[in-house]
Amino acid sequence: MNPIDLEIYWNRLISITDEAGAALKRTSFSTVVRESNDFACVLLDTQARLIAQSSLSIPGFIGTAPLSLQGMLKVFPKETLRPGDILFTNDPWIGTGHLPDATMAAPIFLKGKLIAFAIAVAHLSDIGGRQWSADANELYEEGIRFPVIKLAEQGRFNTLVMQMLETNVRLPQQVRGDIEAQVGALGVAERRLVEMLEEYGLDDIEEISQAIFNASKEAALRELRLIPPGVYHGSVESDGFDEKVSIQATITVTHEGVTVDYSGSSPQVRYGINETFNHTYAYTIFPFKCLLSPGLPNNDGFTRLFKVIAPEGTIVNARPPAAVGARHLIGHQLQAAVFEALASVLPDRVQADSGTPLWSVLLRGVDVHKGKSFSTILFFNGGMGAMSDRDGPPAAGFPANISNTPIEVAETLAPVVFGQKSLADGSGGQGMHQGGLGQVVSFTSRWPGRLRVSLLTDRTRIPAKGIRGGQAGKVGHVYLNGRPVDNPKSVVDMKEGDTLELALPGGGGYGQS
Identify the pLDDT of residue 372: 78
Contacts (Cβ under 8 Å, ≥6 apart) of 370: none
Summarised one tens digit per residue, pLDDT across range 133-181 is 999 999 999 999 999 999 999 999 999 999 999 999 999 999 999 999 9
Summarised one tens digit per residue, pLDDT across range 283-319 is 999 999 999 999 999 999 999 999 999 999 999 999 9
Judged against a pLDDT cut of 80, whether residue 371 lies above it is answered with no
Identify the pLDDT of residue 40: 97
Q: What is the pTM of this model?
A: 0.96
Judged against a pLDDT cut of 90, whether residue 513 lies above it is answered with no
Backbone φ and ψ of 442, nearest 5°: -135, 145
**CA dist., res. 461 & res. 484, Å (int):** 12
Yes or no: say if 53 and 17 are a contact pair by the CB < 8 Å rule.
yes
**CA dist., res. 135 & res. 241, Å (int):** 8
Judged against a pLDDT cut of 70, whether residue 247 lies above it is answered with yes
Every domain of the chain and the residues it spans? 3-215, 351-513
Apex 129 CA angle, 125 and 133, nearest 5:
65
| Mean pLDDT for all residues in the chain | 96
**CA dist., res. 91 & res. 96, Å (int):** 8
Identify the pLDDT of residue 186: 98
Summarised one tens digit per residue, pLDDT across range 251-262 is 999 999 999 999
Domain 3-215 architecture: 2-Layer Sandwich (3.30)
Looking at 36-139, list the stretches that DSSP marks H as alpha helix, in order from N- to C-terminal side: 59-75
Confidence of residue 489 (pLDDT cuts 50, 70, 90): very high
**CA dist., res. 247 & res. 95, Å (int):** 22
**CA dist., res. 299 & res. 49, Å (int):** 8
Under DSSP, is residue 298 helix (H, G, I), strand (E, B) or coil?
A: coil
Judged against a pLDDT cut of 70, whether residue 368 lies above it is answered with no
Which of 257, 234, 468, 431 minimizes the C-alpha distance to 349? 468
Other Cβ atoms less than 10 A from the Cβ of 340: the count is: 22
Q: In the chain, pLDDT over 70 holds for what percent of residues?
A: 99
Backbone φ and ψ of 61, nearest 5°: -70, -35
**CA dist., res. 88 & res. 95, Å (int):** 9
To the nearest 10°, the Cα dihedral for 95, 98, 101, 102? 50
Buried b (16+ CB within 10 A) or exposed e, 431-450: bbbbbbbbbbbbbbbebebe
Confidence of residue 468 (pLDDT cuts 50, 70, 90): very high
Judged against a pLDDT cut of 90, whether residue 1 lies above it is answered with no
Judged against a pLDDT cut of 90, whether residue 369 lies above it is answered with no
**CA dist., res. 327 & res. 99, Å (int):** 10
Average pLDDT over residues 251-279: 98
